[in-house]
Amino acid sequence: MLCKTYCATCIGITAVTVTVEVDLSNGIGIHLVGLPDNAVKESLLRVTTALSTYGYRIPGRKLVFNLAPADIRKEGSSYDLAIAIGLLAVSEQVYLPGSSQYTMLGELSLDGRIRNVTGALPIAEHAKEMGFKGCIFPKESALEAADVEGINIYGVSTLNDVLEILREENCDHLLVVRDPQKSDRPHYSEDFKHVKGQRLAKRGLEIAAAGGHNLLLVGTPGSGKTFMASCLPSILPQMSRDESIETSKIYSITGNRTGKRGLMLERPFRSPHHSASLVSLIGGGQNASPGEVSLAHNGILYLDEIAQFSKTILDALRQPLEDGKVTISRARYKVEYPASFMLIASMNPCPCGYFGDDSHKCTCTQSAVLRYMSRISGPMLDRLDMHIFVKAVSGDDLIAEGEEESSEAIAKRVMAARQIQYERFKNEGIFTNSQMNVRQLNTYCKVSTEQKRFLRDVIHRLNLSARSYSRILKLSRTIADIDGDNFISLQHISEAIQFRNLDRGNFYD
C-alpha cells in the first residue's frame, strides 16, 4: 500500500515541494531513502517514539519512506511531521482524508509536541502557487506566514492538533490570521532632529536615501558618523509589499522571523563587526546560509571603520554591489540570494583619527595616512557614489537651542523623489537612480553642451574613471529629483561633484 504526504525544503529563498512516499509491504525493516542527511535519518526514531507515546503502533512489516525528488539533499528535522502522518495514513490507524491536501512541516519531540522550523514564509508562498489547501506549521513558525493571502495557515502545537486538521474537523481556532492592528509605519528610535550641525553630511544622506546611493563618511572620532548612519532608516521609504515579502523570506530561512507575526515593515539595518568572516558577510557555509549582504537586502549594510575590514572581504563586496545579488557556488550546490542594498561606510582619516582636524594634533606621518586611506582600493572607492568628510561639531552647534530638521520632514522629500523615480522606471525593471545601466543613463541623464564641457574639464582635472563619471550623473539626477526638476542643471552637477571628495585628492578642501 502506498500513501503520500507533502512538505517542502528551501534552496536559497526558493521553496521546492518534497513528496513523502510511504509504502507498507510484506517484509521486515524501516528504510528511509531520498538523499537524507543525518538529522533526517534520525527522524525515524523521533517519529516512532512520538507515535508510541500517543498509543499508535508501528506496523511490524516493511516500511519504505522515500523523500522525492531524490536528487535534492534533504537537511534538517522539518520532515518529521510529514513522515509521521504518512506512517499513520499508510497503516490505516487513523482516517485522514486531508493528508494529501496540505503542506506540513515540523520537528516532533518524543512526547508529540511540535517544535519550530525555518522557512515558513517562502514555503507558504510556494504552497499557494502549487494549489495546496493550506499549510500546517508549528505555532510560532506559522506567525511569520500570517500575511500570505489565498491559503489557510494553521499553527499547531501537538500532533493531536495536526490530526484534527487532517480529519477535516472544525479547526478554525488553529488558523493564523493577519493582525489588523499592525502599524503601517515602523517606529524608529533614532531621528535626525537629534543630530546637531553636520548640514553637509545630512544633505548627503538625504540624497543617498532618495536615490539609493552608496556613501562613505570620513571624519574624526566623535563627529557623529555612526549616529547619522543609524538615523538613515528613518528617512527611507517604507518597503513595498514585494520588497517586504522578499526580505522577509531571507529572514525566514535563517530563523530570525520565528515567533514574529506577518511581514517585515522596517528596512533592515545590518552592521557587522570588522572581524566578521567572509562567509558570514557574503554567505555560504555547510548549509549555504545567506550572509550579511543578503540580510541587508532592500535596506542598509553599514560598515563602521571600513578600513579595518580585510581587503579580501571588501573586494568580495564589489560583485553584489554591481549585480544586486550574490551567487554561492560549491561542489555540492549553487545558491543565489538577492543582495540589493545601500552600502553606508564610515572611517577615520588616519590611524590616530585626527588628520585634518583643527582642534586636535594628528600624530601620524604622511606615509601612515596614505597607507591607511589606501586600504580601500580604487575599484571599491569607485562603487561608493559619495564620499563626504565629516568635521567635528562646533561648540555653537552643540549648545544651540531648538531641534534640527526631523526625519519625518526629510522623509517627505525623499519619498517625493522616490515617487518620481517609480514613475520614471515603472517599465524598466528598476526602482532608483543608482540602479540605472548605461542605456538608461543616456536616456534619463541628458546634459547640455555647456554641461558636457564642464564635465570634460572635471574628468581631465580629477582623472576620473568611467564609473566615477556615471556615478556623478546618477547623483545629479537624484539631486534634480529632490528639487523637482525635470532636467539636470549645472548646479546639480556641481553639487554631485562636491560629494565625490576623494576624487579630488585632498578631500579636506
At 201, the amino acid letter reads A
Report the distance separating Cα 476 and Cα 446, nearest Å.
Answer: 11
What's the confidence (pLDDT) of residue 505?
54
CA dihedral 66, 71, 76, 79 (to 10 degrees): -30
What's the rounded mean pLDDT across residues 97-112? 94
Is residue 85 a contact partner of residue 102, using CB atoms and an 8 Å limit?
A: no
What's the confidence (pLDDT) of residue 33?
95
The pLDDT confidence band at residue 182, using thresholds 50, 70 and 90, is low
* End-to-end C-alpha distance for the chain, whole angstroms: 81
The set of residues, in sequence order, having a beta carbon less than 8 Å from that of 41 and lying 6+ positions away, is 32
Grid cell, residue 279, equals: 562567509
Judge whether residue 108 has pLDDT over 90.
yes
Each residue's pLDDT tens digit, 390-435: 888 877 777 777 778 899 999 999 999 999 999 999 888 888 999 9
At 62, the amino acid letter reads K
Judge whether residue 80 has pLDDT over 60.
yes
Average pLDDT for the chain = 90
Can the peptide bond before residue 69 be classed as cis, meaning omega within 30 degrees of 0? yes
Q: Report how many helices (DSSP H) and strands (DSSP E) the chain contains, helices first.
A: 21, 18
Backbone angles phi, psi at 388, to 5 degrees: -125, 130
Report the distance separating Cα 155 and Cα 171, nearest Å.
Answer: 10
Backbone angles phi, psi at 253, to 5 degrees: -75, -15
Judge whether residue 248 has pLDDT over 50.
yes
Helix (H, G, I), strand (E, B) or coil at 399: helix
- What CATH code is assigned to 192-430? 3.40.50.300
Report the distance separating Cα 447 and Cα 441, nearest Å.
Answer: 11
Report the distance separating Cα 147 and Cα 133, nearest Å.
Answer: 16
- What CATH code is assigned to 2-174? 3.30.230.10
Bridge partners (DSSP) of residue 217 are 346, 388
DSSP state of 194: G
> Three-state SS across 153-186?
EEEECEHHHHHHHHCCCCCHHHECCCCCCCCCCC
The pLDDT confidence band at residue 509, using thresholds 50, 70 and 90, is very low
Q: What share of the chain is helix, strand, coil (3-state, %, to 5)?
A: 40, 20, 40
What's the confidence (pLDDT) of residue 398?
72
Judge whether residue 504 has pLDDT over 70.
no
Compute the Cα dihedral for 302, 307, 311, 315 and give only its sign: positive
Domains of the chain by residue range = 2-174, 192-430
Is residue 417 a contact partner of residue 245, using CB atoms and an 8 Å limit?
A: no
Each residue's pLDDT tens digit, 229-243: 999 999 999 888 888
Interstrand relation of 14-25 and 325-329 (parallel, antiparallel or unpaired): unpaired
Grid cell, residue 348, equals: 577615520
Is residue 138 a contact partner of residue 117, using CB atoms and an 8 Å limit?
A: yes
Task: Note the pTM of the prediction, 2 decimals.
Answer: 0.89
Grid cell, residue 344, equals: 553606508
Interstrand relation of 107-108 and 114-115 (parallel, antiparallel or unpaired): antiparallel
